[in-house]
Amino acid sequence: MESNGDFFTRAFDVVRRIPGGKVATYGQIARLIGEPKKARYVGFAMHSSPGVAGGVPCHRVVFKDGSLAPGFAFGGADAQCKLLEAEGVTFLSDGRVDMNACAWDGRDPNRMGPPPGFLTAAEFGD
């Protein structure tokens, strides 16, 4: 049985690869680590992360509709919004992230191929 620490570490590893100016969803992170039904646990991981100062840009993880986390652990949704805006993330008039412009495709710009542990079938349904 996997410990929360192992799950959290895998989630943090994926979140570290989200480039500035892009966002990923909780569900996307869950799929990328091979746990497609554990989006809520990704939220728990982000809430307990060391944050940007600890090398985990958890502010780049949002709900699937682009909404920000009301309980963002490092200052609330306003703080999350400011961090994202500073990175060039654009927002719709209703305050949600413009997912068409800012959604991360899951690729690591510094590495060829999918990230370690990437499950093509889980992510793309192949």
Higher pLDDT, 17 or 51: 17
Tell me the domain boundaries of the chain.
Answer: 4-102
Question: 54 is written with which tokens?
Answer: 């600890």
**Is 4-102 a domain of CATH 1.10.10.10?**
yes
Rounded to 10 degrees, what is the CA torsion of 113, 114, 119, 124? Answer: -90
Can you say how many angstroms the Cα of residue 89 is from the centroid of all Cα atoms in its chain? 14
pTM: 0.81
Structure tokens at 108: 């690591």
pLDDT at position 1, please?
43
81 is catalytic: no
Report the C-alpha gap between 88 and 53 in whole angstroms.
19
pLDDT tens, position by position, 20-48: 999 999 999 999 999 999 999 999 999 88
Contact 49, 30 (CB under 8 A): no
Query: Which of the residues 30, 39, 58, 97 is marked catalytic?
Result: 58
Residues linked to residue 97 through DSSP beta bridges, in sequence order: 91
